[in-house]
């Protein structure tokens, strides 16, 4: 035994039936088939950037700048298709298969968390009806793999009962995959270690707890600093100089004379900016928060905005109402989901929000899970601890 086994849940989930899984598979197939037939495979926008890097990787064995190594998994998939002469549809097929696996894992994880299969069915159905989340499966972007891998990582953690060396290596491997699919995968390091700490290390001595948390914090800041300074077109002061709320969309026609260090692409550079420009930072952080959680975009159609508001605002409200349930019954899982959402939100406040709500969509499955206890009474789900 590596680390103690967690306490067994008081409530037991009924065995999963193939009927509900078959229905969910049918919905998954219907939604993704509709997207492919309606939109086709999307090769425009950022897709060109990753295709160009794949060509460069094949020709020279390297990428344009160090920051692209943090996208190496999707770039490598595209490179394999180019080298073998396969159509880019094979990349989309892989994205769909990984998404299907993540969806099934989400269902089983929800059934485990709530000891209720019908509640898990409803939660997974909500995930499948998250059209904008599913839509990225047809894009040659990094998001589809990133969404699926972060979901698989999170579900994997929820299924760990005994922290053995094998289980620990599995979590580390998934963290590596997530971190080299998108740079924002590094944001999952603190939530993962926080969850393992709260569930498996809560009985160790206080001095050891402090030392462990300090070590994890220093390691995270070191890796984050490396990522911030990885080069390319990254400029973390730019969104503050022209006060952009949405990435790529400047609010001001000219740069503001804000106080920054020579190297703004660093943890120190961000802290320096915040301390020396507090009024602007607070104002911009507030506006980006509204964009992140509000989801509304002036350039979306009325129907698009109505879908976002009707779908996600109800989930937000239910998640807030369900907080006491999570604190009583699944505290470790609650802090994991909350820290993942919080760090993504913090990143948006320090940079800018995405044109298509992509940053928010990363954590949308966690918000769905957080909202589900509100429906528990309707499904007579037994409560249990973890």
Q: CA nearest 223: which of 215, 213, 234, 211?
A: 215
Look at residue 14 in the predicted model and tell me its pLDDT: 45
Look at residue 10 in the predicted model and tell me its pLDDT: 41
17 exposure class (CB count in 10 Å sphere: 0-12, 13-18, 19+): exposed
Question: pLDDT band at residue 2, thresholds of 50, 70 and 90?
Answer: very low
Question: pLDDT band at residue 231, thresholds of 50, 70 and 90?
Answer: low
* Mean pLDDT for the stretch of residues 224-248: 83
Look at residue 176 in the predicted model and tell me its pLDDT: 95
What is the per-residue DSSP string for 185-227? GGGGHHHHHHHHHHHHSTTS-HHHHHHHHHHHHHHHHHHHHHH
Rounded Cα distance between 136 and 113, Å, is 27
Give percent of the chain above pLDDT 70: 92
The better pLDDT of the pair 221, 25 is held by 25
Q: What is the pLDDT of residues 329-381, one digit of tens each?
A: 999 999 999 999 999 999 999 999 999 999 999 999 999 999 999 988 766 64
Question: pLDDT band at residue 107, thresholds of 50, 70 and 90?
Answer: very high
Residue 196 in this model has a pLDDT that exceeds 80: yes
The structure's pTM equals 0.90
Domain ranges of the chain: 18-379
69 exposure class (CB count in 10 Å sphere: 0-12, 13-18, 19+): middle
């Amino acid at each position: 035994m590596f680390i103690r086994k967690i306490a067994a849940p008081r409530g037991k989930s009924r065995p999963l039936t193939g009927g509900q899984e078959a229905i969910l598979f049918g919905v998954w197939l219907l939604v993704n088939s509709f997207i492919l037939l309606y939109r086709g495979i999307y090769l425009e926008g950022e897709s060109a950037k990753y295709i160009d890097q794949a060509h460069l990787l094949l020709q020279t064995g390297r990428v344009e700048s160090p920051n692209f190594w943090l996208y190496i998994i999707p770039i490598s998939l595209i490179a394999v298709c180019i080298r073998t002469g396969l159509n880019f549809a094979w990349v989309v097929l892989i994205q769909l298969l990984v998404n299907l696996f993540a969806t099934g894992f989400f269902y089983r994880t929800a059934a485990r968390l709530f000891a209720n299969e019908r509640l898990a069915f409803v939660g997974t159905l909500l995930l499948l009806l998250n059209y904008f989340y599913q839509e990225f499966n047809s894009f040659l972007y990094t998001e589809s793999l990133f969404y699926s891998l972060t979901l698989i990582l999170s579900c994997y953690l929820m299924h760990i009962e005994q922290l053995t060396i094998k289980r620990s290596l599995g979590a580390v491997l998934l963290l590596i995959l997530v971190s080299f699919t998108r740079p924002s995968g590094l944001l999952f390091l603190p939530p993962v270690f926080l969850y393992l700490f709260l569930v498996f290390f809560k009985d160790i001595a206080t001095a050891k707890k402090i030392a462990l948390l300090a070590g994890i914090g220093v390691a995270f800041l070191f890796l984050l600093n490396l990522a911030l300074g990885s080069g390319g077109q990254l400029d973390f002061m730019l969104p503050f100089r022209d006060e952009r709320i949405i990435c790529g969309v400047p609010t001001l026609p000219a740069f503001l004379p804000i106080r920054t260090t020579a190297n703004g692409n660093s943890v120190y550079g961000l802290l320096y900016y915040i301390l020396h420009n507090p009024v602007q930072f607070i104002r911009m952080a507030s506006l980006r928060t509204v964009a992140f959680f509000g989801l509304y975009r002036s350039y979306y159609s009325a129907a698009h905005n109505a879908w976002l508001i009707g779908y996600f605002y109800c989930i937000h409200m239910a998640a807030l109402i369900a907080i006491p349930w999570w604190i009583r019954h699944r505290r470790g899982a609650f802090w994991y989901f909350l820290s993942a959402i919080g760090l993504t939100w913090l990143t948006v406040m320090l940079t800018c929000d995405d044109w298509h709500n992509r940053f928010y969509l990363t954590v949308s499955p966690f918000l769905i899970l957080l909202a589900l206890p509100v429906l528990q009474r309707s499904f007579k789900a037994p409560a249990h601890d973890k």
